[in-house]
């Protein structure tokens, strides 16, 4: 099958590497002038992996889409709307899209599948999320992930295209809960990093329990299945996000406490802001998400805010 991967960052290059590894013909696209794409053209490698010579590299979106049957999108969540608008000018009939990204749109709180549908129109799109790190996958360490979509048939088709012994996929039956869970686990990752930076790592157990609980309340209020939060997209991804040295969100939180600037993308910073729109719309109290937002975007003092968060007045669990 001909696969196009849009986005040549850490996860975009991984998805190109993975799709090629399991036997697909792959073209990896980067924006014209992209420094990441230029580096890949020069060395066919980045800090995470080396790309086989069979993978084509291109900055011509029209050419890349023409021959693609399935299109993976792996860009920053806040850049999805602009890219989807670009795609809407192309011929998309007969193509399947897979959003391999986690986040919510700032300003609207919309899920990424909603953003994509608004701009690209009525084209089949699934979401691929779940635990795992590029650094582990390229060392042949397997993991489990989840694919969800509005259609059980599309979900099964995408799983069949990408399944392999390296990644065992599960069928996601609740797209709303899957997307909210995948986005919000990055907010919990920021909080975990702050706790690590303060030397309060033992509180991460409480963070996991209470974080999953507050997100399950939100999903339920939005009309999703609250139990989805306890699956692979959220709770199942906690090890990779709250404990792993590879987690950008955890590292961002830890560096914030130490006063050092973390320069890589930490999607949880944007998600913490966006998810508060949903909390207001659905009248759900999200104390952890709110505290993370106030620390990362409003400049509140981390130790006092996190201490207040976990030492609130006694209440029923």
- Six-digit token string for 308: 């207040």
Residues 271 and 129: their CA atoms lie apart, in Å, by 15
Q: Which residues pair with 273 in a beta bridge?
A: none
Angle between helices 175-198 and 248-258 (to 10 degrees): 30
Residues 219 and 72: their CA atoms lie apart, in Å, by 26
Which helix (DSSP H) or strand (DSSP E) does residue 71 occupy? strand 70-73
Which helix (DSSP H) or strand (DSSP E) does residue 168 occupy? strand 167-172
Half-sphere exposure of 182 (CA within 13 A, CB side): 29
Which helix (DSSP H) or strand (DSSP E) does residue 97 occupy? strand 96-99
Q: Does residue 204 carry a catalytic annotation?
A: no
Nearest to 27 by CA among 40, 39, 35: 40
Catalytic choice (102, 110, 185, 204)? 185
Q: What angle do CA 183, 79, 13 make, to 5 degrees?
A: 80
Nearest to 36 by CA among 79, 6, 2: 6
SS3 state at 145: strand
How many residues are recorded in the chain?
317
Active-site annotation, residues: 185
């Amino acid at each position: 099958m001909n696969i196009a991967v849009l986005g040549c960052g850490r996860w975009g290059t991984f998805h190109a590497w993975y799709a090629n590894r399991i036997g697909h013909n792959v073209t990896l696209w980067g924006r014209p002038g992209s420094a990441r794409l230029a580096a890949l053209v020069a060395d066919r490698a980045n800090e995470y992996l080396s790309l086989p010579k069979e993978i084509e590299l291109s900055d011509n979106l029209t050419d890349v889409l023409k021959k693609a049957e399935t299109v993976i999108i792996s860009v920053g969540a806040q850049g999805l709307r602009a890219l989807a608008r670009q795609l809407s000018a192309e011929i998309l009939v007969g193509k399947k899209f897979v959003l391999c990204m986690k986040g919510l749109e700032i300003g609207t709180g919309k899920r990424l599948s909603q953003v994509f549908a608004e701009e690209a129109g009525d084209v089949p799109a699934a979401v691929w999320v779940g635990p795992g790190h590029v650094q582990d996958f390229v060392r042949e360490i397997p993991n489990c992930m989840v694919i969800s979509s509005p259609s059980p048939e599309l979900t099964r088709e995408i799983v069949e295209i990408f399944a392999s012994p390296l990644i065992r996929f599960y069928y996601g039956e609740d797209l709303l809960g899957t997307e909210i869970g995948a986005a919000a686990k990055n907010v919990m990752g920021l909080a975990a990093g702050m706790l690590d930076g303060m030397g309060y790592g033992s509180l991460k157990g409480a963070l996991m329990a209470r974080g999953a609980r507050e997100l399950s309340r939100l999903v339920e209020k939005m009309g999703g299945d609250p139990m989805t939060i306890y699956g692979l997209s959220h709770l199942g991804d906690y090890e990779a996000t709250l404990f792993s040295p590879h987690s950008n969100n955890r590292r961002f939180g830890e560096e914030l406490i130490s006063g050092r600037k973390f320069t890589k993308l930490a999607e949880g910073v944007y998600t913490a802001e966006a998810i508060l729109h949903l909390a207001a719309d659905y009248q759900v109290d999200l104390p952890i998400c709110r505290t993370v937002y106030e620390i990362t975007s409003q400049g509140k003092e981390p130790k006092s805010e996190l201490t207040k968060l976990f030492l609130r007045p006694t209440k029923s669990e």
